[in-house]
Structure 1
Amino acid sequence: MGKLSGDDDMDRETRGRLFGRLARLLGLSARRTGAAGIARGRWLADLMAAAAPHIPIRDLETLRRHHHGLTGEELAESVARVATNGTTAVGAAGGALAAVEFAAPPMLLTAPAQLAAETLVIAAIEVKMIAELHEVYGVRVEGTGTARGAAFLTAWAKRRGINPLETGSFTNALGSAAKVALRKRLLRTMGRSLSTMGPFLTGAAAGAALNRAATKRLAEEIRKDLRRTTPTPLPSEPPRLPSTD
């Protein structure tokens, strides 16, 4: 999932092959989990919670270097644009894979795993975007990988920026309310990914368009939220928040 959620350019054939590999692995996991756990979203939430601490988050200096020296709102816009391009490509790749397999009998078995793969990769790209927007806007979350993963995953589930002044903003695990929000958000994302199941590449076009619009809207919401809690103009160096260790 790491390569699929990264910023590196990737041709459709390579992306489709990685998707197929991830879908097969998820298919094995899904059979062990059972239909009930999948339908309630608990399986997806557990997988995403396990993956979140391992999503690579770039600090402000690295972001500036990777985005040609941009700063402030221009850097935030560039971070959001890269993520939007990433989820657009995911939708297109998922649709292309569905088109190839559409007429084959195994499709009935592989479709749920493919939807899960697409959902998790979209979530990983957007969590990474949210975390890096926090870096740009001066809200640097310190602590263990588990604590940072839980914080940014909660921000994704609730579609909100992290407010360092709120009690309980930084914890080492997802709370019960956050888990419920995460399950619901993942199931909604999976529902959106159903559009990629259309035949003859119609799903690829629909999936790409829907993902682009959704990620762009999320970026706008997070940036608006972060502007309310950070100085203006954006600081050149973000203040460090207390460690959660």
Structure 2
Amino acid sequence: MGVPEKDRQQSGNEIADPDKEVGELVGRLTESGELEPAERRRLLGRLAQALSAGAKRARASGAGRGRWLADVFLNIAPRIPIRDLHTLSEHHHGLTGEQLADDLVRTAQKATMTVGAIGGALAAAEFAAPPLLLSAPAQLVAETIVVAAIEVKLLAELHEVYGVRVEGTGTQRAVVFTSAWAKQRGIDPLAPASVSLAFGAAAKTALRNRLLRTLGRHLTTLGPFLTGAVAGGALNRAATKRLAEAVRNDLRGKLPPPPRRDQLTP
């Protein structure tokens, strides 16, 4: 009797469907709540393995690193868990308005800092010489995808806090927020073009460039073990802070003040 398909998928370190695996792992790494460092490290390792399998297929097809990264991110974006305002307030001790936004930013900074520290340490452990962009360690590619996902989640949830609603399906909203992340800006509810649900060539180019810049930043963390970890965390924390400040400045004052806690409905 052959081994059942489910058992073959879960045995050892084999990954039966790398594309599906990437989406599931990024979803788990961006969920609300704390992950134990060992569990986060394990999930990042699995993600690096899944991304490595996809990168090999991309190289075989002649696709460039930037195009492949953009395709991967667009595929996983709809899996990023985005909370509504009521859930956000519940998860952050009843906070609303600017205080809730402050707490979201602190949480996201901590998350990207932790991912950066783990990714920098993992990559530095294999350090020999600075690699070319196309041969970047899989761990840093995984870090790039996860940090981007955490920041897209932050951007989307800040829009909830400030009352800027984007209509559409989960996939359509993911496209809008991903495009906004690529531009490092908030969505202007008074400009219909900024809420376009289509991801055209220009938007995809912006996403590709943003992901490559993020990957390039992570490549600078290669070095002796400890300095790689410290640099990875510090660079990610600073970048997330800059994004949050830009988005919040865009969103403030464009709509009426957000509702108080007692005005929220489940």
**Does the CA contact (< 8 Å) of 2:30 and 2:81 recur in 1?**
no
Return the alpha-carbon distance in structure 2 between the equivalents of residues 197 and 213 of structure 1. Answer: 18
Return the alpha-carbon distance in structure 2 between the equivalents of residues 169 and 235 of structure 1. Answer: 24
Return the alpha-carbon distance in structure 1 between the equivalents of residues 32 and 237 of structure 2. Answer: 15
Partner in structure 1 of residue 84 of structure 2? 59
Q: Secondary structure, in 3 states, of the residue corresponding to 2:197?
A: coil
Q: Secondary structure, in 3 states, of the residue corresponding to 2:29?
A: coil
Higher RCO structure (Cα 8 Å, ≥6 apart): 1
Moved over 4 A (4+): none
Pick from 145, 160, 163: which aligns with 2:188? 163
Are 2:234 and 1:209 equivalent residues in the alignment? yes
How big is the shift at 1:230? Answer: 2.1
Normalised TM-score (structure 1): 0.88
Are 2:153 and 1:128 equivalent residues in the alignment? yes
**Does the CA contact (< 8 Å) of 1:33 and 1:43 recur in 2?**
yes
How big is the shift at 1:110? Answer: 8.1
**Does the CA contact (< 8 Å) of 2:120 and 2:140 recur in 1?**
no
**Does the CA contact (< 8 Å) of 1:99 and 1:200 recur in 2?**
yes
Q: Which moved more, 1:148-157 or 1:159-168?
A: 159-168
**Does the CA contact (< 8 Å) of 2:112 and 2:233 recur in 1?**
yes
- State how 1:30-45 maps to structure 2 within 5 Å: 30-34=55-59, 37-39=63-65, 41-45=66-70
Are 2:45 and 1:20 equivalent residues in the alignment? yes
**Does the CA contact (< 8 Å) of 1:88 and 1:209 recur in 2?**
yes
CA RMSD of aligned residues (A): 2.1
Pick from 164, 167, 177: which aligns with 2:202? 177
Normalised TM-score (structure 2): 0.81
**Does the CA contact (< 8 Å) of 2:96 and 2:259 recur in 1?**
no
Partner in structure 2 of residue 234 of structure 1? 258
Task: Flag the structure with larger Rg.
Answer: 2
Consecutive unaligned residues in structure 2, runs of 5 or more: 1-25, 129-133
Kindly tell me the number of residue pairs found equivalent between the two proteins.
232
Are 2:138 and 1:113 equivalent residues in the alignment? yes
Q: Which moved more, 1:162-171 or 1:146-155?
A: 162-171
Q: Secondary structure, in 3 states, of the residue corresponding to 1:172?
A: coil
How big is the shift at 1:7? Answer: 3.0
* 1:216-242 Cα deviation digits (max 9, x unpaired): 1110100000014222x334469xxxx
Return the alpha-carbon distance in structure 1 between the equivalents of residues 39 and 126 of structure 2. Answer: 16
How big is the shift at 1:111? Answer: 4.4
Return the alpha-carbon distance in structure 2 between the equivalents of residues 222 and 184 of structure 1. Answer: 19
Pick from 106, 115, 118: which aligns with 1:93? 118
**Does the CA contact (< 8 Å) of 2:123 and 2:140 recur in 1?**
no
Consecutive unaligned residues in structure 1, runs of 5 or more: 104-108, 239-245
* 1:50-100 Cα deviation digits (max 9, x unpaired): 111111110000000000001110001111111111100010110222244
Partner in structure 2 of residue 145 of structure 1? 170
Q: Percent identity?
A: 62
Return the alpha-carbon distance in structure 2 between the equivalents of residues 115 and 98 of structure 1. Answer: 7
Partner in structure 1 of residue 5 of structure 2? none
Q: Which moved more, 1:169-178 or 1:57-66?
A: 169-178
